[in-house]
Amino acid sequence: MKIAVVGSTMMDIVSYTDKLPAAGETRAVRDFHTAGGGKGANQAVAAARLGADVLFVSCIGDDMFGDQCRMNYEREAIDTRYVMAPKGVSNGVATIIVEEDGQNRILINKGANDALTPAKLKEAEQAIAACGLIILQLEIPIETVYAAIDMGVAHQIPVLLNPAPARADLDIEKVCACEFFVPNETELSILTGKPTTTVEEIKTAAAELLARGLKNVIVTMGARGSLWLTKERTEFVPTAKVRAVDSTGAGDSYIGCFAETWSRTGDILASMRRASRYAADSVTKPGTQDSYATKKAFEGND
Active site amino acids: 252
Q: How far is the CB of 35 from ligand RIB (least distance, A)?
A: 8
1 near ligand RIB (CB under 6 A) = no
Q: How far apart are CA 116 and CA 135, in angstroms?
A: 15
Establish if 7 lies at the interface with ligand RIB (CB under 6 A).
Answer: no
- Stretch 126-155 residues interacting with ligand RIB (CB under 6 A): 139
Output Rg (C-alpha) for the chain, integer angstroms.
Answer: 18
3-state secondary structure of 142: helix
Is 252 among the residues that bind ligand RIB (CB under 6 A)? yes
Comparing CB distances to ligand RIB, the nearer of 3 and 35 is 35
Figure out which of the listed residues 38, 61, 141, 287 binds ligand RIB, where binding follows CB under 6 A: 38
The yes or no reply on residue 94 touching ligand RIB (CB under 6 A) is yes
Indicate whether 106 belongs to the interface with ligand RIB (CB under 6 A): yes
Q: How far is CA 136 from CA 37, 58, 163, 190, 246, in A?
A: 15, 11, 8, 18, 24
Does residue 108 touch ligand RIB according to CB under 6 A?
yes
How open is the CA angle 205-270-180, to the nearest 5 degrees? 40
The total of other beta-carbon atoms located within 10 Å of residue 236's CB is 15
| Residue 249 found at the interface with ligand RIB (CB under 6 A) | yes
42 lies in the site for ligand RIB, by CB under 6 A: yes
By the rule CB under 6 A, 287 interacts with ligand RIB = no
| C-beta closer to ligand RIB: residue 101 or 267 | 101
Out of 91, 247, 248, 261, which residue is the one contacting ligand RIB (CB under 6 A)? 248
Nearer CB in complex with ligand RIB: 94/214: 94
CB proximity list for 24: less than 8 A, separation 6 or greater: none
Q: Show the CA angle centred on residue 112, arms to residues 108 and 113, nearest 5°.
A: 65
Residue selected from 6, 7, 16, 39 as contacting ligand RIB according to rule CB under 6 A: 39
CA distance 104 to 131: 33
Give the interface size with ligand RIB as a residue count (CB under 6 A): 15
Stretch near ligand RIB under the rule CB under 6 A, chosen from 32-40, 59-67, 186-194, 253-261? 32-40
> Measured between alpha carbons, how far is 91 from 111 in angstroms, rounded to an integer?
5
Distance CA 216, CA 179 (A): 6
Q: Is 116 among the residues that bind ligand RIB (CB under 6 A)? A: no
Picking from 256, 263, 264, the residue whose alpha carbon sits closest to that of residue 294 is 256
Q: Which residues here bind ligand RIB, judged by CB under 6 A?
A: 10, 12, 37-39, 42, 94, 106, 108, 139, 248-249, 251-252, 288
